[in-house]
Structure 1
Amino acid sequence: MSVSTDIAAMYRRPAEVLRRLLSREVSEPRALAYLMGACALMFVARLPALSREVSLSDPERWAREPGAYSEALQPVMGGTLLATLIFLPLIFYVIAFVVQIILRAFGRKLGGYDMRLVLFWSLLAAAPLALLNGLTAGFVGPGPALTIVGVLWFAVLLWFVATGVREAHRLAGESA
């Protein structure tokens, strides 16, 4: 199935999609592509909020000086791009490693690739809610709506990761 079809299917049958992804041949480039796609979408999700923050910072100046808004927005976008496409993937690799170690401490022997695939795919599959969170941050701003959407995004991400860990553990038990 295509990535977009699998993302949609994750919201209906996450165990089935994750079982199919985990049963494929090991491919670090595929896992990295999932992670980079998720991080790229997280960057896009941040853009409305960044635009809102910059536009509210000095509206009189933006009206007075043509091009000043663009000049103020570009460094903020550049910093966010650096953070989401360079540093965030490294952080998610560390998170995958730490979660794998914690799971081993609780008796769940999960391979490093399986944990990375589960986490990275879960991030990509939850990206539509991250985009909704970004739109809410940009158009509505801070408040209960943003909190609700953020909690929903995080809950879905945890649901996907937990389902993936369970399916990876189940597949490892079947092959042993």
Structure 2
Amino acid sequence: MAATHEIVASYRNPAAVIARLLGQGTREDRNLIYLMVACLIFFVAQTPRLARESFIDGTELNMLLGASLMAWLFVAPLMLYGLAGVTFVILKILRGNPTGYATRLALFWALLASSPVLLLHGLTAGFVGPGIELQIVGLIWFCIFSWFWISGLRVAYRQSK
């Protein structure tokens, strides 16, 4: 199934989607693609906010975009791999035996599947600006991301037993 169909299916039953993805076998290349596409979407989501800041502050937009691109496409993937590693260790301490692949897939898929809501967050930041609306959309994104990630970790933890 295409990734876009899986993203839509994640909003109905994220555990089933992760189980289906894990059933396709260990594919670290697919994991890396999920992560990099999610980071690219996160960068795109930042552009309306950066354009607004550039207009209000009078700073150079290209400088802001370059820094954001560097952060999301080079630094964030390394930090997210580290977060997945810490999650793996925590699950091991909790007497689970998940694979590192499964814990990375749960995190990376949660980021990719929740990215449409983050695009809405970026548009809200760009057009509305700081305020309660932006905080509500951010909270909605965080709740959806947490739901997807925890569901994926539960599947990874269950499959290890």
Q: TM-score range by the shorter chain?
A: over 0.9
What's 1:13 paired with? 13
**TM-score of the two chains, using structure 2 as the length reference:** 0.97
What's 1:66 paired with? none
1:102 and 1:148 map into 2 onto residues whose CA distance is 30
Answering whether residue 53 of structure 2 is matched by residue 53 of structure 1, we say yes
Pairwise CA distance, 1:22: 1.0
Q: 2:95 aligns with which of 107, 128, 147?
A: 107
2:95 and 2:49 map into 1 onto residues whose CA distance is 41
Gaps of 5+ in 2: none
The one-letter code of the counterpart of 1:17 is: V
Pairwise CA distance, 1:14: 1.0
1:122 and 1:105 map into 2 onto residues whose CA distance is 22
Instruction: Please list every run of at least 4 consecutive aligned residues from structure 1 whose deviation after the TM superposition is greater than 4 angstroms.
Output: none
Q: Would you say the 8 A contact 2:91–2:157 is kept in 1?
A: no
Pairwise CA distance, 1:171: 2.1
Q: 1:125 aligns with which of 87, 109, 113?
A: 113
Q: In percent, how many aligned pairs have the same letter?
A: 45
2:140 and 2:93 map into 1 onto residues whose CA distance is 29
Give the number of aligned pairs.
Answer: 161
Pairwise CA distance, 1:150: 0.7
The one-letter code of the counterpart of 2:129 is: G
**What RMSD over aligned residues (CA atoms) do the two structures have, in Å?**
1.0
- Which structure has the bigger radius of gyration? 1
Gaps of 5+ in 1: 59-68
Pairwise CA distance, 1:30: 0.4
**TM-score of the two chains, using structure 1 as the length reference:** 0.89
1:145 and 1:103 map into 2 onto residues whose CA distance is 35
